[in-house]
Amino acid sequence: MVGQERKAVLKVTRGLHSLVYRFDPAYALDLSVPPIARVEAASEGIFLVTAPGEEFGTLSAPGKGLVVLAEQDGTLHLTIQACQSGGSLDASLELSRIEAQRLSVAAPSSRQRTPLTPGASEFLVRAHVSLRGDLSAARGEWLCGPALPGRIEGLEVRGVGTECPVEYQVATGGRTGGWSSWFPAGAYAGSRGKALPLIGLRLRLTDAAPSDLMLRGEALFLGGSPVVRSGREIEFTGPSPLDPLVGLRLDMVPLVRGETVSDPVGRQDNRPENRLRVFRREMPQAGAA
């Protein structure tokens, strides 16, 4: 093993977590050998559970993972070590809390749903979300989003009691990625359980939709802020080409002629510069609306 390495310190909150070594398409594109990640030390009260057959505390390749049990807040001290002379030290590690989703019912007066626009169709947005399964959101409501982000791997727009005049395309990363063909409402676009989150989304109204309607959507990508798009056809992409879609809200509203559409340029990119990217998924507190 070559001595080229670098160190990192990861903060861990009290609870049960998973630490996963994410695959980076750059390894395949430039044929580089991924580095090895090791947990060299942990604070008092933090325990590691490694998969059978794996070296303790070691993530030997992308796709490997371990469980972190933290009885109190603390830190993990990691070493990223190249597998060959001059090899890559770029690694993406994801720390996720392992916990059942806490659901709470808001008081009826705390939130009023947007009335259905005359001529518009009632619909649901259904999606497969990494580590959570299939979720649904009503028209005008967040699917995942700022309060509970999650990597969306595929979705469908389905009419409720009537046909929904919407078509959509999705984009995924990886060797076989790119934009899909257009899907009609009710058809699932994307994947399930393949760790291929969506990195782009396009939606448009069909000719069957009244001419005085438009779509209004709000999307959240990892590393960015929520962005609003309005029009008969809208498109969402992240701050960088590989940032996954982690939240979506969609509605059908009256068409506003000449409405200015939000510009995605200038969205804040909160990722550190050293490319040891650590993604955290925190669960909301019980009782949150």
SS3 239: coil
Q: What is the DSSP letter of 265?
A: T
Residues 68 and 154 in one domain: no
Burial class of residue 169 (count of CB atoms within 10 Å of its CB; 0-12, 13-18, 19+): middle
Domain assignment present for 142: yes
Compute the distance between CA of residue 197 and CA of residue 152 in angstroms, rounded to an integer.
Answer: 5
Side chain identity, residue 72: Q
Residues 84 and 32 in one domain: yes
H-helix or E-strand spanning residue 26: helix 25-29
Given this model, what pLDDT does residue 277 score?
56
In a domain? residue 271 = no
Whether residue 9 is contained in a domain is answered as yes
Is 220 contained in some domain? yes
pLDDT, residue 241, reads: 83
Range of the domain at 87: 5-100
Phi/psi at 26 (5° precision) = -60, -30
> Of the candidates 90, 94, 203, which has an alpha carbon nearest to the alpha carbon of residue 150?
94
pLDDT under 50 in the chain at which residues? 1-2, 103-110, 260-275, 287-289
pLDDT of res. 106: 37
Say whether both 133 and 94 belong to one domain. Answer: no
Same domain, 38 and 127: no
Are 125 and 16 in a shared domain? no
- Check: CB of residue 116 under 8 Å from CB of residue 251: no
Query: What per-residue confidence (pLDDT) applies to 6?
Result: 86
Is 247 in the same domain as 128? Answer: yes
Task: Examine the fold and report which residue of 67, 100, 133 is the final residue of a domain before the chain moves on.
Answer: 100
Cα 257 → chain centroid:
33
| Cβ(11)–Cβ(82) below 8 Å | no
Residue 151's pLDDT is 94
* 74 and 9 co-located in one domain: yes
Q: Are residues 82 and 137 in the same domain?
A: no
Do 90 and 128 belong to one domain? no
User: Same structural domain for residues 151 and 37?
Assistant: no
Query: Is residue 238 domain-shared with residue 150, that is, in the same domain?
Result: yes
Rounded distance, CA 129 to CA 198, Å? 10
Domains identified in the chain, total number: 2
Residues 77 and 196 grouped into a single domain: no
Residue 5 has what pLDDT?
A: 86
